[in-house]
Amino acid sequence: MTTPWKTDKYFVSPLNYLPEVTKDFQLPAKVKIHDITLRDGEQETGIALQKDQKIAIAEALAEAGVHRIEAGMPAVSKQDENAIREIVKRNLGPEIFAFCRCILDDVRLAADCGVSGVIVEIPSSEHIIEYGYQWTLARAIQASVDATRLAHELGLYTVFFTIDATRADFNQLFQIIEAVAAEGHMDSLTLVDTMGVCAPPAIRHYVRTMRARLQRPLEAHFHNDFGLANANSLAAIEEGAEVVHSTVLGMGERAGQASTEQLALALELMYGIKTGIKLDRLYHLTQVVQKLTGHVTPLNQPVAGADMYKLESGIPANWWLRCKDEHPTEVFPVLPSLIGQADVEVVLGKGSGTDSVAYWLGRIDQPVPPFDQLLELTMQVKEISMTKHGLLTEAEFRGLVERFQAEKA
């Protein structure tokens, strides 16, 4: 019988689907991923994308089925503006958005680029308004009202974006938001944890409070300074947020953002939400972004890590060798083919056991010796690995086997 937590491609926990777990969820009818790699992702220190690189990333995002692409901030540079115009011109499929300050010329330029929507930002915490921008609250409110009203008049889907909202005084925050809703325009509101300083329970409260006060769709934009951006994004969706902002590889300034590829996978496998994202294109997407940005990705990073499906440790490798033909998800909760990764590989290193060495002997068409000799050969594999501080290549293993067999002859 088919179950939402287990198929022939994945096996997650049935606890995710228990009524006791899901009874209070307010999941939206549809979840959109609003990818911000080309704007917030590029803000990662040292990354500077050229026009052609931005277009290539936009194409990879479209191929993966991402719903919205935030193509950048046209006011940043003429090259950014030209890249946005070209991405719009190519009609890739996703909605194309631009990012703007609460400055009327920013909004006009975004509209002139042909985007379908715009993210309009404003500082919302009293300390950022006072210390960072050196504005009055009245100025912040008026700028927000004017910019969002103009965006609407220019036919743009208008998303109001409140910087540092999770550290703001709620009364002041609502004063800004409600003024924009009443006097400006707001098709949706982005809930922004600019500094990544909220825990999931706080995010749930935040979303519930906003839903109760404001009859607008909600979007989630969370940074990762405490490693909680993904968890917070999922918590927001549990409470009814309809759009999540994320970057490929979790790129971004400081500790980065929520991860596009990880969220897409979690939404479908752990929540049963069919986003329409093509999961088998996720790994390819991460490789395109990694290559074009130079972003350094940990080898064990979910979805994107190059070593995700390499097995060195003896016990897991044994499990895989025993289960791979009929029960592969006993070892890997997500099979590599689901996300477009390369096949599972048993490798040889310090952690290898006798079963791995026997498997490799079979791969190079050599007989498996009696157990005492197999154990001795395994110890020599470990010694070489420790000496070189890494895995053995096939050539190194072949050489070792030849020497070992000569000694035993």
Domain for residue 301, yes or no?
Answer: no
pLDDT recorded at residue 126: 77
Domain shared by 288 and 314, yes or no: no
Domain for residue 299, yes or no?
Answer: no
- The contacts found for 369-373 with CB under 8 angstroms, 24 or more apart, are 369/408, 373/404, 373/408
Domain shared by 167 and 231, yes or no: yes
Residue pointed to by tokens 């917030």? 40
When divided into structural domains, the chain yields a total of 2
Output the tens digit of pLDDT for each of the chain's 409 residues: 468 999 999 999 999 999 999 999 999 999 999 999 999 999 999 999 999 999 999 999 999 999 999 999 999 999 999 999 999 999 999 999 999 999 999 999 999 999 999 999 987 777 777 777 777 778 888 888 999 999 999 999 999 999 888 998 888 889 899 999 999 999 999 999 999 999 999 999 999 999 999 989 999 999 999 999 999 999 999 999 999 999 999 999 999 999 999 999 999 999 999 999 999 999 999 999 999 999 999 999 999 999 999 999 989 999 999 988 999 999 999 999 999 999 999 999 999 999 999 999 999 999 999 999 999 999 999 999 999 999 999 999 999 999 999 998 7
Domain shared by 98 and 133, yes or no: yes
Q: Which of 260, 293, 326 is the last residue of a domain?
A: 293
Domain shared by 240 and 180, yes or no: yes
Q: Which of 259, 293, 327 is the last residue of a domain?
A: 293
Which residue from 108, 182, 180 is spatially nearest to 143, judged by alpha carbons?
180
Q: What is the DSSP letter of 130?
A: I
Question: Do the Cβ atoms of 148 and 110 come closer than 8 Å?
Answer: no
For position 218, which CATH number holds? 3.20.20.70
Taking the C-alpha atoms of residue 137 and residue 143, their distance in angstroms, rounded to an integer, is: 10
Domain shared by 265 and 376, yes or no: no
Domain for residue 4, yes or no?
Answer: no
Domain shared by 103 and 213, yes or no: yes
Domain shared by 314 and 273, yes or no: no
Domain shared by 263 and 194, yes or no: yes
List CB contacts of 395: < 8 A, sequence separation 6 or more.
none
pLDDT recorded at residue 123: 75
pLDDT recorded at residue 367: 94
Which residue from 222, 261, 259 is spatially nearest to 241, judged by alpha carbons?
222
Residue 199, Ramachandran bin (φ over 0: left; ψ between -120 and 50: alpha; else beta): beta
Range of the domain at 384: 310-408
Question: Do the Cβ atoms of 248 and 260 come closer than 8 Å?
Answer: yes
Domain shared by 170 and 44, yes or no: yes
Domain for residue 9, yes or no?
Answer: no
pLDDT recorded at residue 1: 46
Residue pointed to by tokens 């999770």? 166
Q: Which of 224, 259, 293 is the last residue of a domain?
A: 293
Domain shared by 270 and 357, yes or no: no
Which residues are bridge partners to 244 per DSSP?
Answer: 33, 220
Question: Do the Cβ atoms of 118 and 159 come closer than 8 Å?
Answer: yes
Which residue from 210, 285, 266 is spatially nearest to 41, judged by alpha carbons?
285
pLDDT recorded at residue 217: 96
List CB contacts of 139: < 8 A, sequence separation 6 or more.
none
Which residues are bridge partners to 33 per DSSP?
Answer: 244
Number of H helices, E strands in the chain: 16, 10
Domain shared by 287 and 331, yes or no: no
Question: Do the Cβ atoms of 249 and 230 come closer than 8 Å?
Answer: no
From the number of C-beta atoms within 10 Å of its C-beta (0-12, 13-18, 19+), residue 177 rates as: buried
C-alpha count within 13 angstroms, C-beta hemisphere, residue 17: 16
From the number of C-beta atoms within 10 Å of its C-beta (0-12, 13-18, 19+), residue 348 rates as: buried
Domain for residue 100, yes or no?
Answer: yes
